[in-house]
Amino acid sequence: MPPLVAGAAAGRHRRRAILGVVGLALMAAVATAPVAGAAPAPAPFPSPAAATSGTAPPQDWIALTFDDGPVPGTYAILDILDRYDAKATFFISAWRLPANAEIAREIIRRGHSLQTHGWLHRNWTGLSSGAVRRDIEKSIQLIYEATGYRPTCIRPPFGATSPRTTAIAESLGLEVVIWNANSADYAHQSSAALLRAAPTWQPGSVVLAHDTNHYIWTPVLGEIIEGLQARGLELVSMCGYQRTPRAPFIPL
Ligand SMILES: [Zn+2]
């Protein structure tokens, strides 16, 4: 079974995942929810990085994060999320732009958070610092050209990080966000396994998923969301675009 958090320094990664959500909390608190169906106004370029301290995340949220898209199958996931008024975060592989730029724009139009998963989906820990920087910068550029947004968070491909690569990402104004719950959709390729896993996700979980595996998600995503919402969990997006959870944020 793959580790819940990839990489050697699991504690550090977990902290980073949570810090990302703290950033979500703080920025969601000051963000204005977009009007449904309307394209949000582009952020100035560059935009500030997500704030990371000062508030605690609410207790009743869960963050689904979809990596590796956007792909045409992403639309079906968006439709299901809409049906349940659920929000998610999409860490996109920027090499899919500009071909799939319209899908990326639709993610934002529907009120979700669109962030970067890098350009070529390479393992940064095996690349030179210059190559890592170019990969990240290219992803930022492609996302900005496609959507008018500069991402504020990044999920390293494979969750593989080191202090060196994290420092590069942060120097470019990006918060590194890993995960603390893994759907393992890539491994089991099973809708039934997703249904079994979802009840184990705890409040405050950042769940790793992949919209490239849309074909196993779409048959059960509605049922999974119903189960999470029945537990009192609100599905929120990360990294400061929108979505104010029902419960107020309680300062530390
Ligand atoms: Zn990936």
SS3 217: helix
DSSP per-residue letters across 64-111? EEEES---TTHHHHHHHHHHTT---EEEE-GGGTTTTHHHHHHHHHTT
Number of domains in the chain: 1
> Is the distance from CB of 151 to CB of 115 less than 8 angstroms?
yes
Residue 107 lies in a domain: yes
Q: What is the 226 CA–ligand 1 centroid distance (Å)?
A: 26
Q: What is the 158 CA–ligand 1 centroid distance (Å)?
A: 5
Residue 24 lies in a domain: no
Helices and strands per DSSP (H, E), number in the chain: 9, 8
Give residue 139's pLDDT: 97
Q: How many CA atoms within 13 Å lie on the side-chain side of 236?
A: 34
The whole domain housing 108 covers 51-235
> Is the distance from CB of 140 to CB of 101 less than 8 angstroms?
no
SS3 225: helix
Give residue 154's pLDDT: 95
Residue 131 lies in a domain: yes
Q: What is the 3 CA–ligand 1 centroid distance (Å)?
A: 15
Cα(168)–Cα(174) distance, integer angstroms: 9
Residue 184 lies in a domain: yes
Residue 18 lies in a domain: no
Residue 185 lies in a domain: yes
Q: What is the 191 CA–ligand 1 centroid distance (Å)?
A: 19
Closest alpha carbon to 247 in 55, 34, 52: 55
Q: What is the 91 CA–ligand 1 centroid distance (Å)?
A: 8
Q: What is the 246 CA–ligand 1 centroid distance (Å)?
A: 31
Within 8 A by CB and 6+ apart from 212, the residues are 67, 68, 69, 71, 73
Residue 149 lies in a domain: yes
Write the CATH number for 228: 3.20.20.370
Give residue 238's pLDDT: 87
Give residue 212's pLDDT: 98
pLDDT tens for the chain, 252 residues long, are: 333 333 333 334 444 444 444 344 433 333 333 333 344 433 333 332 333 333 444 568 899 999 999 999 999 999 999 999 999 999 999 999 999 999 999 999 998 999 999 999 999 999 999 999 999 999 999 999 999 999 999 999 999 999 999 999 999 999 999 999 999 999 999 999 999 999 999 998 999 999 999 999 999 999 999 999 999 998 988 886 443 333 333 332
Torsion from C-alpha of 205, 216, 73, 185, nearest 10 degrees: 50
